[in-house]
Amino acid sequence: MALNTTQTLTIPKVAAPDKQTLTEVWKTIQPDSCPYSYNFHMHTICSDGRLKPEELIEQAVAIGLKGLAITDHHTINGYQVAQSWLEDWQQQIPSTTQVPQLWTGMEITAELLGSEVHILGYAFDPEHPALHTYLQGSAPQNSEAKAESAIIAIHQAGGLAVLAHPARYRRSAKELIPLAAELGIDGVETYYAYANPKPWQPSQKQTQQVKQLSASYNLLNTCGTDTHGLSLLQRL
């Protein structure tokens, strides 16, 4: 569905962040929550994905997602386009139609224990000055590239910080999650398909390990397909 540019709509630049609602959703996440109910890790052509933001949100509606976040690298451009599409679509449907909740999101390349990691930010105010460095379309440098700095910035902007695919780095999840928790991380991407299976399903061994660690450190559990291709139901 294309945006109707002839219709005058009052569309906010970005939706108001809703951290509390997102926290409550994450408390309910189960192994089968993704990819048909929730998906909190997806990319568009605004970073390294193949879907246009309009295509992504249209597909999310067709799948019947209840909630999602576009987590392009170091930009919210895709989110803004998708949010405008969603606002326009909502004006044209019956009031009883389920409208998915779209939260602000992004993925930050950072450093933790000498290893490159990815920090996901959600439900933040993208206009907050603390995030300026992280929304320039490229990875931060120097001290701002530290995981602690990224976590602090997300929190200052009112958001939640999550360690993406914690079992996919040079350092193990057993090493990274305790330190991330010490630095104030809010959650971990517990349900993730490391081998990109078809159909999508979280990897059993890694899920069990990450879930045990998240419970030990009282962290929230999230899920996502990490879509880079043309289907929200797969990573590639």
Beta strands in 45-159 (DSSP E): 67-69, 101-103, 105-112, 115-122
* For residues 40-68, average pLDDT: 98
Contact 96, 74 (CB under 8 A): no
Whether 1 is covered by a domain: the verdict is: no
Kindly tell me if the per-residue pLDDT of 10 is higher than 80: no
For residue 13, the model assigns a pLDDT of 40
Per-residue pLDDT band for 95 (boundaries 50, 70, 90) equals: confident
Whether 2 is covered by a domain: the verdict is: no
* For residues 204-221, average pLDDT: 98
Whether 179 is covered by a domain: the verdict is: yes
Give the whole-angstrom CA distance, residue 3 versus residue 86.
9
Parallel, antiparallel, or unpaired: how do β-strands 101-103 and 187-191 relate? unpaired
Number of H helices and E strands in the chain, helices first, is 6, 8
* For residues 111-132, average pLDDT: 97
Whether 11 is covered by a domain: the verdict is: no
Whether 233 is covered by a domain: the verdict is: no
Count of domains for the chain: 1
Kindly tell me if the per-residue pLDDT of 11 is higher than 50: no
Residue 115 has φ and ψ, to the nearest 5°, of -115, 145
Whether 81 is covered by a domain: the verdict is: yes
In tens, the pLDDT along 61-93 reads 999 999 999 999 999 999 999 999 999 999 999
Kindly tell me if the per-residue pLDDT of 16 is higher than 60: no
Give the whole-angstrom CA distance, residue 236 versus residue 233.
9
In tens, the pLDDT along 184-202 reads 999 999 999 999 999 999 9
Beta bridge partners of 118: 109
Q: Tell me the CA distances in angstroms from 215 to 96, 186, 210, one per residue in order.
A: 37, 12, 9
Kindly tell me if the per-residue pLDDT of 156 is higher than 90: yes
Helix, strand or coil for residue 191? strand
More confident residue, 6 or 167: 167
Give the whole-angstrom CA distance, residue 72 versus residue 58.
17
For residue 188, the model assigns a pLDDT of 98
CATH number at residue 169: 3.20.20.140
For residue 17, the model assigns a pLDDT of 55
pTM of the full structure: 0.92
For residue 96, the model assigns a pLDDT of 84
Domain of residue 132: give its range.
Answer: 19-223
Helix, strand or coil for residue 155? helix
Kindly tell me if the per-residue pLDDT of 14 is higher than 80: no
Kindly tell me if the per-residue pLDDT of 170 is higher than 90: yes
* For residues 202-209, average pLDDT: 98
Whether 118 is covered by a domain: the verdict is: yes
For residue 164, the model assigns a pLDDT of 98
For residue 192, the model assigns a pLDDT of 98
Whether 4 is covered by a domain: the verdict is: no
